[in-house]
Amino acid sequence: MPNRICIHNLRELCGQSIPGYVVVANTTVQQELLTALTSLELDAVVLDLDEANAVGTMLKMREVKPRIAVVGVTAEADARRLINAQRAGCTQATVRPVNLDDLAAALRQALGQTGASEAASQTFGVLGSVGGAGSTTIATYLAVEIATLMREATALFDLDLEGGGVAEALDLTPQYTIADLASAGVVDSALLEKASTVLANGVHVFARPHTILAAHGVEEAALRSILQAAHNTFPYVVLDLPRHLSPLAGAAIEHCTRLVLVVQLTVPSLRSTQRIIDAITAEGLSGKHIELVVNRYRKNTTNCTIEMVERQFGRRVLAVVPSDFKSVHTALDSGQPLVRRNAVRAAIREMAARLTGFEEHAKGKTWLPKLGLGN
Ligand SMILES: Nc1ncnc2c1ncn2[C@@H]1O[C@H](COP(=O)(O)OP(=O)(O)O)[C@@H](O)[C@H]1O
Ligand SMILES: [Mg+2]
């Protein structure tokens, strides 16, 4: 498939075709470009380095899509300008007047460089406060929603190695599991690709071992190197964590950019949430990495409210997922995903947008029709 690129603020390239690439957007203002980055499946951006705000634009781009390949176009190959551009994330440049073959060569090079980059991958761990809180349901749909929203490959690891149900929830019968990865020695991107089951939406599922015995054979050091390789390979990684806070779970939590605790509005769940937060902060993971998500929420059915939870834990609840036992149970049982308009999925979609920062940049979409994206 040809790489998809966006041309930013380069009138001279309008209507030109770049050999081997497809131009999916032409943008002129920064906000347009940022929205294109989050809403289109872009591989690279070509922009004008001679524009006064070029460095600022590239820094903003990096916040939205840290791994995007960037090629600059400039009239003068001025060393200071090129160094500033490089520091802002531009890895290749070409000079005016633009030769399209030279631009294609620069794009090829820039894409190769970003492919090898380990930049800012995010790992979201999901941990249930009590058994059945909904960790597997939320982790599974979180990965699906992130892959769909960000249009990026997203890894989903079932780290409930003994009893995990991620593969079943998606009706998969994986050939390889995390146990195979753990016994492989060196783990790299090619091996990760081979050991996962890839869904059409871009989620790469890493299933729990086939047997409990094999689960017991997974060692902490092996898990650490699997997660490091995943960090280097995927822009987003979601971990369905086991409830038992073993050294293995601790190693996984250490890898998390953010840890999502799934709570229910019940006294045992809230007590357990406090115990988990205490244990994790005592281990040195800062409390600010912890997010609370209320699952199976039904209005006016308990004395406990969202506001009480926020007050008790001194933090805002990231998302409230409604209770819909029939839909969730049927989906998990049949392996058929919840339909997109289902309220549980919609709440998890919102949560995915908040965790990835998609929300911030999706505001002000009024120019989208210009790009043919209005619906
Ligand atoms: N939002 C929800 N509404 C209704 N039922 C839910 C919801 N989330 C999870 N469940 C149900 O709760 C049970 C446990 O969910 P699961 O995701 O396996 O939890 P965990 O992994 O924390 O043990 C499942 O039967 C599932 O159908
Ligand atoms: Mg589970």
The pLDDT tens digits for 207-246 are: 999 999 999 999 999 999 999 899 888 999 999 999 999 9
Of all residues in the chain, what percent carry a pLDDT higher than 90?
Answer: 62
Q: What is the pLDDT of residue 241?
A: 98
Q: Which of 99, 117, 135 is the last residue of a domain?
A: 117
- For the CA of 295, the nearest ligand: 1
Dist. CA 314 → ligand 2 center (Å): 27
Q: What is the pLDDT of residue 168?
A: 92
Q: What is the pLDDT of residue 362?
A: 54
Confirm if 337 and 8 have CB atoms less than 8 A apart.
Answer: no
Identify the band that residue 80 occupies on the pLDDT scale cut at 50, 70 and 90.
confident
Q: What is the pLDDT of residue 370?
A: 36
Decide if 281 is inside a domain: yes
Kindly report which listed range (8-12, 165-169, 328-332) carries the lowest average pLDDT score.
Answer: 328-332
Q: What is the pLDDT of residue 186?
A: 84
Kindly report which listed range (100-104, 320-324, 346-350) carries the lowest average pLDDT score.
Answer: 100-104
Task: Give the mutation target among 127, 130, 135, 137 for probing the ligand 1 site: most ligand atoms within 8 A of CB.
Answer: 137
Q: What is the pLDDT of residue 373?
A: 33
Same domain for 258 and 147: yes
Mean residue pLDDT of the chain comes to 88
Confirm if 116 and 67 have CB atoms less than 8 A apart.
Answer: no
Q: How far is CA 14 from CA 23, 106, 203, in A?
A: 9, 18, 35
Which pTM value belongs to this model? Answer: 0.70
Give me the amino acid identity at 253.
Answer: I
Q: Which of 65, 98, 117 is the last residue of a domain?
A: 117
Average pLDDT over residues 179-189: 91
Q: Which of 67, 82, 117 is the last residue of a domain?
A: 117
DSSP 278-322: HHHHHTT--GGGEEEEEEEE-TTSSS--HHHHHHHHTS-EEEEEE
What is the domain extent for residue 20?
3-117
Minimum CA distance residue for ligand 1 atom 9: 134
Please list, in sequence order, all residues whose beta carbon lies within 8 angstroms of the beta carbon of residue 343, skipping any fewer than 6 positions away.
322, 324
Residue 347 has pLDDT above 80, yes or no: yes
Q: What is the pLDDT of residue 359?
A: 63
Minimum CA distance residue for ligand 1 atom 4: 325
Same domain for 138 and 67: no
Same domain for 133 and 88: no
Instruction: Give the nearest ligand 1 atom to 139 CA.
Output: 17
Report the distance separating Cα 111 and Cα 116, nearest Å.
9
CATH number, residue 340: 3.40.50.300
Confirm if 311 and 285 have CB atoms less than 8 A apart.
Answer: no
Q: What is the pLDDT of residue 299?
A: 87
Average pLDDT over residues 50-74: 90
Give the torsion sign (CA, 7, 10, 15, 21): negative
Dist. CA 240 → ligand 1 center (Å): 13
Same domain for 297 and 263: yes
Identify the band that residue 176 occupies on the pLDDT scale cut at 50, 70 and 90.
very high
Minimum CA distance residue for ligand 1 atom 27: 329
Q: What is the pLDDT of residue 332?
A: 77
Identify the band that residue 314 occupies on the pLDDT scale cut at 50, 70 and 90.
very high
Highest mean pLDDT (candidates 6-20, 37-51, 94-108, 210-224): 210-224
Tokens of 263: 């709570």
Same domain for 148 and 290: yes
Confirm if 162 and 208 have CB atoms less than 8 A apart.
Answer: yes
Residue 118 has pLDDT above 50, yes or no: no
